[in-house]
Each structure stands twice: as C-alpha cells, then as structure tokens.
Amino acid sequence: MSENPVDDVTGALTGRDPAKSAVLVYILYLVGIVIPIVPIVAVVLAYMNRKDMTGWLESHSIYQIRTFWIGLLYGVIAMVLMLLLIGWLVYIAIIIWLVVRCVKGLQALQRREPIADPQTWMV
C-alpha cells in the first residue's frame, strides 16, 4: 500500500491494481450493511474489473459477483417473509452470512490465495 490512501482507492477504481480492487469490493459490501445502495457500486466495480482478475484473483471476482446476487435473492426472500414477521431473523442471518463471506475473502486476499470454491452459496 502506498502512503496515500486516496491513491490506493483511486488505483483500485481505475484498475491499476486488481488486488486492491478486490479489497475495495469486499469493503464496499460491508459498508452496504449500513448504506444499502453501496453494494450496487461494489458489484459494478467487480464486473468492471473482472477482465483484470487473472490467476488466483479470478476466483475472488466470481465469489464477489455471486455474493451480490445471492445476497440480493436472500434479501428479497427476507422482505417477503417480513409479512410473516420472521423476515427480521432471515435478514440478521443474511448480514452474518455476508460478513463471514467478506472476511473469508479478505483473509484469502491477504494470503494471496484463491477462494477454494467460488461457486458456493454458503461461506
């Protein structure tokens, strides 16, 4: 990482460093727990940088994109179940699932390892 965090973020946004872009996507997903529109930015960034993700980073790209779509599906299910008053429990489970997936991804990135099974629906 450079000494200027702004350079790190702009580098991730412009695609100069695919690993930094992957870190940024995971962080944006976590921020999305508080600000719900942010995961859309994250998945767009993941799609934009997908072609730059080669080797071990390719599994992270697949994992991040699937995290968004699976989370969206679970979120819709939770919203429907809110009518039955159990949607809040499902929503809490989704948050836990998302945090675990992001932490797992960040840890693998730090170790410079691929995600073992990027196609999984679980963690």
pLDDT in tens, the chain (123 residues): 445 444 445 455 554 689 999 999 999 999 999 999 999 999 999 999 999 888 999 999 999 999 999 999 999 999 999 998 899 999 999 999 999 999 999 999 999 999 999 999 887
Distances (CA, A) of 1 to 11, 86, 108: 10, 43, 17
pTM for this predicted structure:
0.84
